[in-house]
Homo-oligomer: A and B are copies of this chain.
């Protein structure tokens, strides 16, 4: 069964087997994460909003976007693992905080509705 915990473990083993732990400081992994997000951005940069919404139906772009998203996920769980942070709990804490800052009532009432997150 696939789970975030299992993926984290697989990525850790992958790094250990290749003797890459020496490179995997949080600083370096944050950079690698950003580099992968840059590649993901590049897939979307010239698309219209509508084209971006249909990207997974594209036989060329769809698999590329999926692969880039996979790369981002890999580095995110690796960074969280090295930091000793549970990324699900970190996300849920942040979501709860955002819920207090951006109440449903305020968001609905706002004309501009600048979304966050």
Query: What B residues does A78 contact at CB under 8 A?
Result: 117
Copies in the complex: 4
Of chain B, the residue at the smallest CB distance from A93 is B70
Of chain B, the residue at the smallest CB distance from A51 is B27
Query: What B residues does A28 contact at CB under 8 A?
Result: 45-46, 49, 52
Of chain B, the residue at the smallest CB distance from A49 is B25
Most chain B CB neighbours (cut-off 10 Å) among A20, A34, A73, A97: A73
- Kindly identify which residue among B42, B47, B77, B114 contacts A35, using a CB–CB cutoff of 8 Å: B42
Evaluate contact between A46 and B30: CB separation under 8 angstroms.
no
Evaluate contact between A113 and B2: CB separation under 8 angstroms.
no
**What are 9 A-B interface contacts by the 8 Å CB criterion?**
A2-B88, A3-B3, A28-B49, A30-B52, A31-B41, A31-B42, A36-B117, A71-B94, A76-B76
Other contacts beyond A14-B99, A56-B85, A76-B76: 14, CB < 8 A: A2-B88, A14-B95, A18-B108, A20-B107, A20-B113, A34-B38, A34-B41, A38-B39, A65-B83, A66-B85, A66-B93, A70-B95, A73-B94, A74-B95
